A and B are shown apart, each in its own frame.
Chain A
Amino acid sequence: MRLGMAVAAYRAFQLGFWALVLAGSSLSQGCVQATADIPDMEVTRQDLAIQPAPSTIPAGTEGTIVQQFTYEKSPSPLPKSMTSNLHATDVIITLKQGAKDLSFIHAAKLTVTGFGGKPQTVIEYQPASHQAVGSSMTLPLLSAPDSLNPWAVDSSTFELTITGILPQQVWYLDVTLTYSGSISYSS
């Protein structure tokens, strides 16, 4: 009997305490400041399908293809009272399917266009001579415009330009943007 009362009292304390925390946080408007440090976040556009080389280009001949894509919004959108201070650092291109490795790429360029803005080049790639290229490569960003921030803009359009001896069938890439920074909240 006493044990049951003790358990009930503890249960009441548990619920009461955290209800108080929630109520207090909603009532203390104007006095809450929070910062979350995010050392390593990745946003990946999965299985981006790249069309094969145009039939007008003979096999084994260098060609260029341009592919546009977008990143979908985060499944955990930030409330308006939160501010994102994330900065993109690298782009990782990973071959998923359709080729042996990425050594066929002789040049690559990625541009991003923010809402109503003009395109900005964020990576330009040309492999060094005799550079071993596998199925993945990490490319540092030339610049990190705000339009790369997945929580700062509603929508950004990316354009990937690849020059090389392109595969004759559809091939697939993962294009990953890595970020570090923080998210802050103030009320």
Chain B
Amino acid sequence: MTTQASCRALRWVALSAAIGCWSARLAAQSTDPSVADFSKLQTTNAAQPSPVGNAPAPVASATQPPATVTSEQPQAVTPPIPQSVSSIPSESPATAATAPPVPATNVLPEVTPGFATEFPRYQAPKDQSRAPSGQHTVQPRSLAAMLDVGVPDGAVLGVAYRPAFWTRLEAGAGTNSISPGMRVGAAVIPFTEGPSLTVEGGYYFEGDASAIVSQFAGHSHTRTAQQVGYQFVNFHVGLDFGSRYSTFFLHGGMTYLHTILHDANDALGGQSVNSQGDVTTYTFNQDVNVNVWFPSFKLGFLVYIV
């Protein structure tokens, strides 16, 4: 009874971790715009005029008026506009009508770190990999090669795609040393690195496990062991380290596994004979479906390539 309770507790912990990760993600989104809106960050960088060299470009454009961005920021954190750029048109129509467009300069205003990528009047220097505040604004690599080893996953080689910095989709193929298989999954990493929550589903085709069974059990139930395959779902919490070019991860949790014992009579059936020679036969006429919940783990790494 105690053991069942501990299993239930472990599942609740996993579920609570999922909710906690998601809550943390939402909290980060509401308080820190530099962390929260990854997709907007990319869009902003792409839409922002970034002439290289001395080509003049009006900063105030229809696609991205600077005052609009400024008005979205809280007053307390709005950076003071230096005199050198004070004549740049603002949102006010009157001001916009009287003030001509000003060629962009590379004057670096005093800005609060963390908001630099959204500062409208900044003209990116030739090296566009850095924002004025020193932050990297180069688009992170999102496609990775992945290799991991675990139970019941076996060894899986695959690809991972990071549509946003806090999530990762993955698909791969692997082997459990009996047969080939495949696996797909999704991970939530609310802080880019650190705690993570992963849900994966996998399928291993049926293969001949006679050699393995005889290795460990000393004998082989031939027909049953010749058709061993399974499907599984992992519910893992874990830790992911590194975020830009590579990630190492260690995940653990519970797994639900389903398998079918073919020719179960070969493995479970048989005869019993007593001292009088009376024979009792145990026969299994159909395949036996087996469902298992058990602890599982996995470790691996990703290398972002694109």
Contacts and interface: CB of A to CB of B under 8 A. Distances in A.
B95 interface: no
Contacts, number: 126
Mostly, the B contact residues are: strand
B101 to A, nearest CB: 65
B283 A33 contact: no
Contact of A31 (B177, B273, B274, B294): B294
A101 interface: no
A24 to B, nearest CB: 6
A57 B254 CA distance: 69
B278 A45 contact: yes
A45 to B, nearest CB: 6
Given A34-B291, A35-B291, A72 B6 contact: no
A13 interface: yes
A40 B282 contact: no
Interface string A1-30: 000000000100111011111101100111
A41 B265 CA distance: 9
B215 interface: yes
Interface string B226-258: 000000000000000000000000000010000
A115 interface: no
B292 A33 contact: yes
Given A36-B288, A41-B284, A30 B6 contact: yes
Nearest to A18: B212
B177 to A, nearest CB: 4
A71 B278 CA distance: 9
A38 B278 CA distance: 26
Nearest to B261: A36
A43 B294 contact: no
B180 interface: no
A36 to B, nearest CB: 5
Contact of B295 (A24, A70, A75, A186): A24
Given A41-B283, A41-B284, A41-B285, A31 B10 contact: yes
A18 B284 CA distance: 27
A62 interface: no
A25 B294 CA distance: 8
Counting contact residues on chain A (CB < 8 A from B), the size range is 35 or more
A42 B261 CA distance: 17
Mostly, the A contact residues are: mixed
Interface in A29-63: 29-47
A129 interface: no
Contacts of A31: 3, 6-7, 10, 254, 293-295
A38 B284 contact: yes
Contacts of A43: 280-283
Interface string A87-107: 000000000000000000000
B83 interface: no
Given A30-B3, A187-B3, A36 B272 contact: no
Interface stretch (B59-67, B85-93, B150-158): B150-158
Contacts of A20: 151
Interface in B141-173: 149, 151-152, 154-155
Contact of B155 (A13, A32, A45, A69): A13
B177 A10 contact: yes
B138 interface: no
B290 interface: yes
A131 interface: no
A126 interface: no
B216 A18 contact: yes
B216 A36 contact: no
Contacts of B271: 75
B167 to A, nearest CB: 28
B282 A75 contact: yes
B282 A69 contact: no
Interface of A: 10, 13-15, 17-22, 24-25, 28-47, 69-76, 150, 186-187
In the A-B complex, the 3 residue pairs with the smallest Cβ-Cβ separation, listed nearest first, are A30-B3, A72-B272, A75-B270
Given A19-B216, A28-B295, A72-B272, 13 more contacts: A13-B177, A15-B215, A22-B216, A34-B294, A38-B264, A38-B288, A41-B285, A42-B283, A43-B281, A44-B280, A73-B280, A75-B270, A76-B270
16 contacts: A19-B216, A21-B151, A22-B216, A24-B295, A29-B3, A31-B254, A31-B295, A32-B295, A33-B293, A35-B291, A37-B290, A41-B284, A42-B282, A43-B282, A45-B279, A70-B278
